[in-house]
Amino acid sequence: MLGSIVIGLVTSLLGGALVRAWARAKRARAVNRRGAFFGVRPGRECLGEL
């Protein structure tokens, strides 16, 4: 009984971590794609409003 609870908690934590990593990678790809469209390279400064 206690073992199945522990296994359930561990799998839930692993699943949550994987979903969070996937969402973060998806957002990073979108930001990089948008930056490439506007000619901004990763790690470079952007001028912003003057």
Q: What is the pLDDT along the chain (50 residues), one digit of tens a residue?
A: 999 999 999 999 999 999 999 999 999 999 889 888 888 877 777 666 55
Q: How far apart are CA 44 and CA 33, in angstroms?
A: 15
What does pTM read for this prediction? 0.66
The identity of residue 18, as a single letter, is L
Question: How far from the centroid of its chain's Cα atoms is residue 43's Cα?
Answer: 18
Spatial separation of the C-alpha atoms in residues 39 and 6, rounded to whole Å:
49
